[in-house]
Structure 1
Amino acid sequence: MDHLILFILLALLAEILGTIGGFGSSLFFIPIASFFLDFHSVLGITAIFHVSSNITKIAFFRKGFNKKLVIWLGIPAVVFVIIGAYLSKLIQIDILETLLAIFLIITSLTFLIFKNITVKPTIKNSITGGVFSGLVAGLIGTGGAIRGITLAAFNLNIETFIATSAIIDLGIDVSRSIVYYTNGFVHNHYLYLIPFLLVASVVGTFIGKKILTKISEDKFKSIVLILIFIIGLITLGKIIIG
């Protein structure tokens, strides 16, 4: 019982941070859940948790999404998350996590140090961000940081950033949930966690949105990049230690 309470509280914290960062809770939730569940179970439960999380975000930030980015970034992300989810049974996870950690650390530091760097939200850049975020999400359960890097580089406002990210993420999560289920990653004996995680997603998003009302656009972008940098360090540290 104590472990369950701790698990739900940590999931709530992951949801709050994911809302503030704008790229979803899976970046934080996956490392947390891996202390309680096996990796494949983590992939399955995270995908289901994220579906409710993103529906909640869309409800709270529904006025802000960018239709063009949803199409040009979202469709490639959904296609490649399916590919990544199938490949997740075949590729060694440590290699992928190491490459992702290095990418997150270098990219976030670059945008933090050179603050004037921007990436135009062109069709080419949107498709590239969608392909990589979808593929990584399917392989290791979280591609939100890559999508966050892409959207942060586009200099979107807070509402547009979070709403656009949530709509794309919803398509990704529904797609990979189906594939993870067929892969046997969704285990019935863990389904009792879903109602608790549903509550955590709603409460966490609400708290995160309240915090965001007190943050400027520039601070928001810096927070996104700092959180991505921290996740890169944590991911790399977990690989080195473990």
Structure 2
Amino acid sequence: MFERISWLFLLLSLVAEVIGTIGGFGSSVFFVPIASFFFTFQSVLGLTAIFHLSSNLSKIALFRKGLDKKLLLQIGVPSVIFVIIGGILSNYLDSFFLEIALGIFLIFFSLLFLIKKNLVVKPELKQSLIGGSLSGFTAGLLGTGGAIRGITMAAFNLEKSVFIATSAAIDFFIDFTRTIVYFQSGYIGKDELLYVPFLFVIGLIGTYIGKRILKFVPQDRFKQLSLVLILFIGVVMLVQVGLK
């Protein structure tokens, strides 16, 4: 069994989990590009959903005091609905142009909030519904919606424990839902299941390490750090698409 495991992939997955925890929006935005070098697109979707289930449970446990139940409902409900739609459409749509659009979107909005540092979006129902819908749809279709949710929650200027706990809780319901959709679509097979115990442990360890590092990140720097990471993700996504 062990000869079929890619240890480099698991090491990079740990790095993705640590950075995703520090940034506050989850590991999928880094995990998806990494996994795509080792697996097919459909397998990447399945592995991402499985990996995130364990990592988000860890974040909920470690940051549970910061959970915002109002935002959980306003962003989480549309996210779950649209992750089903995106997951189903992943069977039929070409992801190439969608990945380009997502990369441009992330670069534009991260730069906007980095340049206009005093720009804050109020966490009202309309903005939460739009952010949740886009996040869920891209998570189902492309495997990663955390960056869009990160943009939304960074714009709300939330305290870092609220940001991470609420984002993780939303992500958990998204991942639980899309795992079912992906399994029924045949994205999760024997090869993917081999990695489940390893990814579960990595999710726990990576979240813990990320939380320890986050103690040294001041609140006023947290939003900027998240936006810089999202900007980097957008650039990497466009570069990766160009290499295909």
TM-score (norm 2): 0.97
- Residue 126 of structure 2 is matched in structure 1 by 124
- Residue 78 of structure 2 is matched in structure 1 by 76
- Residue 177 of structure 2 is matched in structure 1 by 175
State whether structure 2 residue 214 is matched by structure 1 residue 212.
Answer: yes
State whether structure 2 residue 146 is matched by structure 1 residue 144.
Answer: yes
Aligned residues: 242
Cα deviation, 1:190-221, whole Å, max 9, x if unaligned, reads 21111111111111000000000011112111
**Paired AA for residue 177 in structure 2:** S
Measure, in 2, the Cα distance between the counterparts of 1:3 and 1:79.
34
Measure, in 2, the Cα distance between the counterparts of 1:141 and 1:2.
23
Measure, in 1, the Cα distance between the counterparts of 2:59 and 2:192.
24
- Between the two proteins, what is the percent identity of the paired residues? 55
- Residue 19 of structure 1 is matched in structure 2 by 21
Describe how 1:32-181 pairs up with structure 2 within 5 A: 32-181=34-183
RMSD value, Cα:
1.0
Aligned with 2:194 (options 176, 192, 195): 192
Mind listing any 5+ residue stretches in structure 1 that lack a counterpart?
none
After TM superposition, the runs of 4+ consecutive aligned structure 1 residues lying more than 4 A away are none
State whether structure 2 residue 8 is matched by structure 1 residue 6.
Answer: yes
Measure, in 2, the Cα distance between the counterparts of 1:40 and 1:190.
10
2:31 counterpart SS class: helix
Cα deviation, 1:56-77, whole Å, max 9, x if unaligned, reads 1000001001111000110000
Mapped contact 2:23–2:222 kept (Cα < 8 A): yes
- Residue 28 of structure 1 is matched in structure 2 by 30
Measure, in 2, the Cα distance between the counterparts of 1:103 and 1:47.
23
TM-score (norm 1): 0.98
Mind listing any 5+ residue stretches in structure 2 that lack a counterpart?
none
Cα deviation, 1:121-160, whole Å, max 9, x if unaligned, reads 0011101100110011110000000000000000100100
